[in-house]
Amino acid sequence: MADKVRTKTKYKSIYYNNTTKKYDVKYNYKEYDIKSGKNRYRAKWSYNLNTLTEARAELARLQTAGVKVDDKDITLKGAYDLWEIKAIGQNFSPITIKNTSNFMTMIYQFLPASTKLKDIDEDVYYKFCADIRANGFSEETLFSLNTTFRKIINHAFKKKLITENFLLYTDNMKTKRKEDYRIITKEEYDLIDNYFKENKCIHKGQNTYKKYRFMYNLLYYTGLRIGEALALRYCDFEEFSYYKKGAEPLRIAPSSTATEQAHLQGMRVVIDKAYVSREKLLKDTKNYKKRTIPLSPSTERLYMRLKEEHKKNGGSLEDKIFLYDYSTYNSTIKKACEKLELEPCSCHSFRHTFISNLIKKNIPLTVIEKVSGDNQNTILKRYSHMFESDEVMILSALQDL
């Protein structure tokens, strides 16, 4: 048709063909190519329409796809909507539904909601995995995004919305499991703590290592998620007292053996929000649980020093304590381990250590759940290897029956 001469009409995309003496319609549209990650611009033509009325009707048909779309030609967003209907119908927890919705919103940044499931294959999945890993997410977030994506695809296959499930023969994305995080020994932690105590890093006239030391101390003794720590303000720390009649006040310490009859006093941190470095926004904590965690004396002392210095410099207790992002604290601890010739660890290693230490000390699961923010099922699933010695207790109990 390239040799034919067309003249524009007053209607956009409708042309008068001077050769055929009829009307031609050109419909411009774009398609998202999920493999290249770019839009492809295309055009469809309809020729030899007798009148402008026919031409306008044909243009409308092209713009609305004309023929009925196959009911099984479902998009990624459509597949999620069906999963959500199932989740509500089967009384899934509101937290599970909300978390899945949040993860899907993140997934749409890499695979648009309008992506058709039939266009997603092994290569597209691998590219998706590579893209989210390159974005700098933590291993925990990578695991959650991958699990959510696979959950939606598998549900669509089960509902027979796609004829083939490529996940059945595609290697799963490799992410670090909780049990793969190493436990930081007390001796190793003391070396790390002393490193930030004895060394300095001056920035704008301030020794930033003071806050680095406080951050890692806080993570080690409270098990906070790094996003929860980054959201902390000075006013999120509070005093507490547990009164016991006739007892003298005693400042609690983790190693104290004289706490059962004492009037206990101390300080705790209130956790009710988390900070997402990449998106620079505050959000609810994971599982939407507000909790408090008591501080060890060492953590309390570091906090009090930082608070007094901050107030002396004219700061407000409403100010955030930590001003750098997750990657900065994560890379700094890895560099410190390298200088100390220790096995590398991440910010999450401190949380894994904290929960593992509580399990070793036979702290009840209900208490671990309260301070960690994880539910008991998650703790049992991710730290099952820590409970192996419980089998000995069961056998011992059976012998006494």
Q: Indicate if 206 and 124 belong to the same structural domain.
A: no
pTM, 2 dp? 0.59
User: What does the buried/exposed string (b/e) look like for 251-281 if buried means 16 or more CB atoms within 10 Å of the residue's CB?
Assistant: ebeeeeeeeeebebebbbbebebbbebeeee
Q: Indicate if 253 and 325 belong to the same structural domain.
A: yes
What pLDDT is recorded for position 338? 94
Report, as ranges of residue numbers, the positions in the chain whose pLDDT lies below 50: 1-2, 66-71, 179, 253-262
What pLDDT is recorded for position 37? 55
pLDDT, one tens digit per residue, over 161-183 is 888 888 887 888 877 655 456 88
3-state secondary structure 302-337: HHHHHHHHHHHCCCCCCCECCCCCHHHHHHHHHHHH
Q: Indicate if 117 and 40 belong to the same structural domain.
A: no
Is 70 domain-assigned?
A: no
Which one, of 48, 41, 42, 44, lies nearest residue 61 by Cα?
44
pLDDT, one tens digit per residue, over 362-384 is 888 899 999 998 888 878 877 76
Q: Indicate if 198 and 245 belong to the same structural domain.
A: yes
What lies within 8 Å, CB to CB, of 7 at 6+ separation is 15, 16, 18
- In the numeric block, the tokens 């955030």 are attached to 320
What pLDDT is recorded for position 216? 97
Is 167 domain-assigned?
A: yes
Q: Please report, for the domain that includes residue 360, its CATH number.
A: 1.10.443.10
What pLDDT is recorded for position 240? 82
Query: Rounded distance, CA 37 to CA 111, Å?
Result: 8
Domain limits for position 127: 76-175
Query: Rounded distance, CA 310 to CA 294, Å?
Result: 22
Is 58 domain-assigned?
A: yes
What pLDDT is recorded for position 3? 52
Q: Is 55 exposed, middle or buried (0-12, 13-18, 19+ CB in 10 A)?
A: buried
What pLDDT is recorded for position 1? 44
Is 228 domain-assigned?
A: yes
Q: Is 323 exposed, middle or buried (0-12, 13-18, 19+ CB in 10 A)?
A: exposed
Is 221 domain-assigned?
A: yes
Which one, of 354, 319, 350, 327, lies nearest residue 232 by Cα?
319
Provide the number of structural domains found in the chain: 3
CA 245 to chain centre: 46
Q: Indicate if 81 and 171 belong to the same structural domain.
A: yes
Q: Of the candidates 112, 147, 175, which is a domain's last residue?
A: 175
Q: Indicate if 361 and 265 belong to the same structural domain.
A: yes
Query: Rounded distance, CA 368 to CA 393, Å?
Result: 20
